[in-house]
Amino acid sequence: MTKIIDHSFGKGQPALSTSMMGRVRIKVITGFFGSSKLGEEDFVSVSEIDEDKYRSAGGAAAGAIIGGVLTGGIGFLAGAAIGGRRRTESSYLIVLKDGGHVALRTKDKVLRARLGHLAQNEKIATMVAERGGSAEV
């Protein structure tokens, strides 16, 4: 699930997706028939704002109950530990060539992986440039 936190498209509503090749695309719907598409080539920078890791409380409770009923006391503890799936939710800021931006929060593994990769490449390029080199990432 991806939620747009903020954007600079006025009344247009952006939606993020990934292509078959894993590249990030932004489609901005501006009216009934109007829309524009932006790809990674339109990004100036991608930076990670925040990352939250947590366990599903409902899953832990269900796992504890099922484990306790089936195997007794030790199953209760094991079910609670295994039942709560780990989840990660990350926030990113994408700055575009035209001066616009999109801030988003996502749980989507593919989108998080690609945006994380783009943000990491940008950090590497910045660090290399600060040392006087050039980096093609």
pLDDT for the residue numbered 78: 54
pLDDT of residue 122: 86
Residue 60 has a pLDDT of: 53
Q: Which token pair is 15?
A: 């939606």
Confidence at residue 125, expressed as pLDDT on a 0 to 100 scale:
84
CB neighbours of residue 49 within 10 Å: 13
Put simply, whether the predicted model's pTM sits higher than 0.75 gets the answer no
- What amino acid occupies position 61? A
Q: What are phi and psi of 12, to 5 degrees?
A: -70, 145
**Digits of tens for pLDDT over the chain (137 positions)?**
889 999 998 888 898 888 888 899 999 887 777 788 999 999 999 999 877 765 555 555 555 555 555 565 555 555 555 555 566 889 999 999 999 999 999 988 899 899 999 999 888 888 888 888 665 55
